[in-house]
A = this chain, B = another copy of it.
Amino acid sequence: MLDDRDRALLSRLQRDADVAVAELAEQVNLSPSACARRIARLRAEGYLTRLVARLDRRRMGLPTTVFVVVKTAQHSAEWLEQFRAALADVPEIIEAHRLTGNFDYILKIVLPNVEHYDAIYKKLIQRLPLFEVSAYISMETMKHDTPLPVTYG
């Protein structure tokens, strides 16, 4: 299990991993070697998976977010297979979930602007039958790139 130091380390690292072990160590009141051992352990035990670079979406020309809720036209293994393939082939779909409730799926799509959504929509409906497709455009991202809550105590 994780103690307070582990949680502090994970919390810190998922906010900014571009830091020397020596600096991390003093923030959690550990020696550099003990701190390095912990990080290696957290990695080995699968809490910490990998380091990634965050890109600025606006700077990358992808400021627009659209959420798309989908109802399937047919509940069959073949359809699901096609749907999975479509998700994999469309890089603008950066997140996809199968849901409970009124909707079957929700997709999160990133785009240069709202007009580009039409191209994604057409790409999807020509690949497989969809019963209902509703797009909700994000007018304002109020919270994003948020670190996972690392429960203390």
Residues of A near any B CB (own CB < 8 A): 10, 13-18, 45-57, 59-62, 65, 67, 84, 87-88, 91-103, 105-106, 110, 134-144, 146-151
The interface residues of chain B lying within 8 Å CB-to-CB of A62 are 148-149
Stoichiometry (number of copies): 2
A90 to B148, CA, bound (A): 11
Q: A59-B45, A87-B142, A87-B143 are in contact. Are A17 and B97 (CB under 8 A)?
A: no
Q: Quick check: B143 and A93 within 8 Å, CB to CB?
A: yes
A46 to B60, CA, bound (A): 9
Q: A134-B101, A138-B99 are in contact. Are A148 and B55 (CB under 8 A)?
A: yes
The interface residues of chain B lying within 8 Å CB-to-CB of A49 are 53-56
